[in-house]
Structure 1
Amino acid sequence: MSIASVMVSADLGTGAAERVRLAASLASRFEATLTGVAARKIPDPGPGEDLETIRAAYRKEQAKLTEDLTQCREIFEQSCGAEIRTTWRQAEADASSFLVRQALAADIVVVGRGKDAAGGLAISLGAVLMEVGRPVLVTPPVPDHLKAERIVVAWKDTPEARRAVSAALPFLRCAKQVYVVSAGEEARFEGAEQVSEFLGRHGAQVVTHLLNAATGDVADEILQFTTREDADLLVMGGYGHSRLREWLFGGVTRDILQTASVCCLMSH
Structure 2
Amino acid sequence: MRSLLLHVHEEPRFDARLQVALDLARAFDGHISLYQPIPLAMLWPGDPFAVTATDLAPMAKDRAEEYRRKIEIRLAAEDVPWNWVSEFGVAEAGLVEQSGLADLAIVGAGNTDGRKGASRLAGTLAIQSLAPILVVPDTAEGFAADGAAVVAWDGSLEASRALRSAVPLLQKASAVTLVEVEETKQREVELPMLDGARYLDRHGIACEIVQIGRGDASITHVLREAARAREAGLLVMGAYGVPRVVETLFGGVTRDMLTNPDIPVFLSH
Bin of the TM-score, shorter chain as denominator length: 0.7 to 0.9
| Aligned residue in 1 for 2:262 | 261
Q: Distance in 2 between matches of 1:182 and 1:17?
A: 33
Match of 1:178 among 161, 176, 179: 176
Q: Distance in 1 between matches of 2:157 and 2:78?
A: 39
Q: Distance in 2 between matches of 1:112 and 1:257?
A: 10
Identity value in percent: 25
| Aligned residue in 1 for 2:219 | 218
Q: Which amino acid aligns with 2:13?
A: G
CA displacement at 1:160 relative to structure 2: 1.3
Moved >4 Å (runs of 4+) = 186-190, 246-250
| Aligned residue in 2 for 1:94 | 90
| Aligned residue in 1 for 2:198 | 197
CA displacement at 1:216 relative to structure 2: 5.6
CA displacement at 1:78 relative to structure 2: 3.8
Residue by residue, what CA displacement relative to the aligned partner does 1:122-146 show, whole Å, maximum 9, x if unpaired? 9622111111121100000011311
| Aligned residue in 2 for 1:227 | 228
Equivalent residues of 2:22, 2:80 under 8 A apart: yes
Distance 1:134 1:75, change over 3 A: farther
CA displacement at 1:254 relative to structure 2: 1.2
| Aligned residue in 2 for 1:147 | 144
Q: Distance in 1 between matches of 2:222 and 2:25?
A: 32
CA displacement at 1:163 relative to structure 2: 1.1
Unmatched 5+ stretches in structure 1: none
| Aligned residue in 1 for 2:13 | 15
Q: Which amino acid aligns with 2:261?
A: A
Q: Distance in 1 between matches of 2:113 and 2:71?
A: 14
Q: Does 1:135 find its partner at 2:137?
A: no
Q: Which amino acid aligns with 2:58?
A: A
Residue by residue, what CA displacement relative to the aligned partner does 1:154-193 show, whole Å, maximum 9, x if unpaired? 0111121111111110111121110000002259956112
2:218 match: secondary structure: helix
Q: Which amino acid aligns with 2:65?
A: T
Q: Does 1:251 find its partner at 2:268?
A: no
Q: Which amino acid aligns with 1:103?
A: S
| Aligned residue in 1 for 2:102 | 106
TM-score by length of 1: 0.86
- Number of residue pairs the alignment of both structures matches: 258
Q: Does 1:73 find its partner at 2:73?
A: no
| Aligned residue in 1 for 2:162 | 164
Q: Distance in 2 between matches of 1:157 and 1:68?
A: 47
Greater shift, 81-90 or 217-226, is seen at: 81-90
Match of 1:42 among 40, 43, 46: 40
1:14 match: secondary structure: coil
2:78 match: secondary structure: coil
CA displacement at 1:22 relative to structure 2: 1.0
Match of 2:57 among 58, 62, 77: 62
